[in-house]
Structure 1
């Protein structure tokens, strides 16, 4: 799946710390690191956990091969002792966290990594790289799914992202509720349904629009989607129905005032007897433009750039902080970036009706569990060995249920408080 091992997908300072800790004898102290966000991106009322299963796969592959170690020695990144330690590196600790598809809020301990200092600290950059990207995409995609009000969405942002980020983004968007992706690698790796139509280039290749449509229908049949806005949209729709007949599955519109055009297109299709032909719209859509089309006769949305860039919040703002050494809480006390020491346990509190009311976090203890509380953390890796994780479809369903559980105000696209409050309480 990956062209190389991920061990060098890290920052220089990780190995600086490892080298110094090996020399002074602190490298093997038992430590706990936690991943959390101090705040949500502006305008967001929840975050979405995504990428954890990808991360587990990468941790399994996290090895330093001879070429890696030679590079690190030649460039002075590590000394001989550090090089010897890296040659034998295997993560033997534990990883626990919120399941994929879970919602998170400021302070939520969404991932906990425990083991020796050296084996945990060297994973910091990889952990944050995966989770900050995938969580950002999933949160943006979830907002678009909410805005679509049950209408289907296709993720089509591969051309706006790094080639591997595009595959990860497709996975995160599908987890969030998108129906399809245009990315074939994501379809192969993760079993995500793929879909695609045609570009304007295909129409321009032919002598006229009719010839382009006839070619596509002859190849794919009437169960296809014709792009009708290369020239005049109304004429494009007429030509599409003349060529394919009223059984044409769908037309796609990629430009213009989509609200007005969707209404006019629906009226025209109906007048031509194509009452079952669907209308797909695309063109720089985000959650706000999708919400603005809620009352229009649109059947599917194609979203690209906004999805793969987190719709204005390209990172989830997650940090990876040391909270415990040899069973002792450690605390960063700087005024702007203070942390809460100790390994934490979190539960989501609900009303009997199932509505979430609060997230409770207990450092160094066990929460006072009440009826309808749900424990949020689960095992991902135990003693270095990955455990069986939920499937992507199970994570997708979990997120759907989580979004149903939060108060309706938490689904608003406007600026406001997090969907539910987070309370940190002392251990019992």
Structure 2
């Protein structure tokens, strides 16, 4: 496997300041108190799924591994922290030498998760683990939200093509992460070249309405595009009159025209009319791509339409109304010292209401019914029952500070397809409901 198979991790800046100030001030206070080196276990999980969602999708693990490798404080950062009086001198000296040296286990990317699932388990000293909280949650909350929306759209599309095209609807760096997460969730291609460059996601794109408006006639625009990109290109046919545009497109490109794109109007009605017209003109192999503020519900409503692919932007990169997964990162166990022989003791927040958590270093497994379909997410802190030993979900990601679990993005994509297929059929229903399987604690 060459480096390109895993994506290009070039030009990645330090992630050390992608954090909240209180992470550093906690380290300062713990160093002064002599507790910073206590062996600790943190876990990332969510207490609930976003409203109406039946399952979550783990995405961002590869980016978490990048964040671990690039989490270090350079001289310029340390100068900033000193000038802003964020932390004191001894803490700055500690930060200057910081490199994560612990272990990380987690759900593999593309896997599904449920409330309470220990998606990430981070083990090491308190100080080195707590520093990673904000950047880990930033990545996991964003990427998993996008992947979940993509998965719902993929299920609604029923095997038809999906194009991620939301770069202009979000922050430029979020756009790249969104394209990556969408690919894991089931999208086939992206319009974002930075995502294609960094993660080897297939890229697509032809022209916008501006290109048609640039030319004196629609025919001139189509001819220019076909002359440049070939007959297999996709022509945008709704700038003026769709019926006339389809006729012109076939006249210019011939029956070998690759596709037409429709970006406005009653997509269900227009798609049927365009399909009939293309067939009558002999362009029976020309495909139809639809865009225009689609989400999973709009995609599902077009199931009966002769559509070959959907282009999705705004609703995808904003999580289709659920832009975060509300994951948290909590200390669940700690020892009284750095001694690896000292036993860990469970700790947990015991707040009133919904913010309490379950202490202890956890394992997770998915129990299947007699048909091989998932029936429960089982989480425990003791010995793993023999019947669940081969169904454990956590895999080793980082050992002694070294990343050991990099994989091609396609592996995560394929894993998600398999994981979703292993859930009860109601998982892909778009109607609101509870998590499709319960979480059980042992």
Q: Give 1:150's match in structure 2, choosing from 159, 174, 177.
A: 159
Q: How far is 1:161 from its partner? A: 1.1
Match of 1:423 in 2: 440
Q: How far is 1:4 from its partner? A: 2.5
Match of 2:328 in 1: 319
Indicate the larger mover: 352-361 or 246-255: 352-361
Task: Look up the SS of the partner of 1:413 in the other structure.
Answer: coil
Match of 1:163 in 2: 172
Q: How far is 1:3 from its partner? A: 5.3
Match of 1:284 in 2: 293
Correspondence 1:230-241 to 2 at 5 A: 230-241=239-250
1:198 pairs with 2:207: yes
TM norm structure 2: 0.95
Q: Deviations over 1:230-260 (max 9, x none)?
A: 0011111011001001110100000011000
Q: Matched residues in 1 for 2:390 and 2:123: separation?
A: 25
Q: Matched residues in 2 for 1:270 and 1:33: separation?
A: 60
Q: Give 1:183's match in structure 2, choosing from 149, 173, 192.
A: 192
Q: How far is 1:373 from its partner? A: 5.1
Q: Matched residues in 2 for 1:105 and 1:389: separation?
A: 24
1:377 pairs with 2:386: no
Q: How far is 1:370 from its partner? A: 1.4
Match of 1:407 in 2: 424
Q: Give 1:133's match in structure 2, choosing from 142, 157, 167.
A: 142
Q: Matched residues in 2 for 1:373 and 1:211: separation?
A: 62
Q: Give 1:28's match in structure 2, choosing from 17, 32, 37.
A: 37
1:43 pairs with 2:52: yes
Indicate the larger mover: 368-377 or 167-176: 368-377
Q: How far is 1:2 from its partner? A: 4.0
Q: Give 1:53's match in structure 2, choosing from 52, 59, 62.
A: 62
1:107 pairs with 2:116: yes
Runs of 4+ in 1 over 6 A off after TM superposition: none
Match of 1:360 in 2: 378
Q: How far is 1:367 from its partner? A: 2.1
Q: Matched residues in 2 for 1:175 and 1:357: separation?
A: 24
Correspondence 1:240-255 to 2 at 5 A: 240-255=249-264
Match of 2:341 in 1: none
Q: Deviations over 1:322-351 (max 9, x none)?
A: 001110100100012101000100001113
Q: How far is 1:369 from its partner? A: 3.0
TM norm structure 1: 0.98
Q: Deviations over 1:280-300 (max 9, x none)?
A: 000100000000000110000
Q: Give 1:395's match in structure 2, choosing from 406, 412, 419.
A: 412
1:296 pairs with 2:305: yes
Number of paired residues?
424
Over 3 Å counting, the alpha-carbon distance change for 1:90 and 1:103 in structure 2 is same
Q: Give 1:347's match in structure 2, choosing from 365, 372, 375.
A: 365
Over 3 Å counting, the alpha-carbon distance change for 1:71 and 1:11 in structure 2 is same
Q: Deviations over 1:69-106 (max 9, x none)?
A: 11101111010011000000000001100000110000
Match of 1:219 in 2: 228
Q: How far is 1:130 from its partner? A: 0.4
How large is the Cα RMSD of the aligned pairs?
Answer: 1.0
Match of 2:6 in 1: none
Task: Look up the SS of the partner of 1:127 in the other structure.
Answer: helix
Match of 1:275 in 2: 284
The runs of 5 or more residues in structure 1 that have no matched partner are none
The runs of 5 or more residues in structure 2 that have no matched partner are 1-9, 336-343
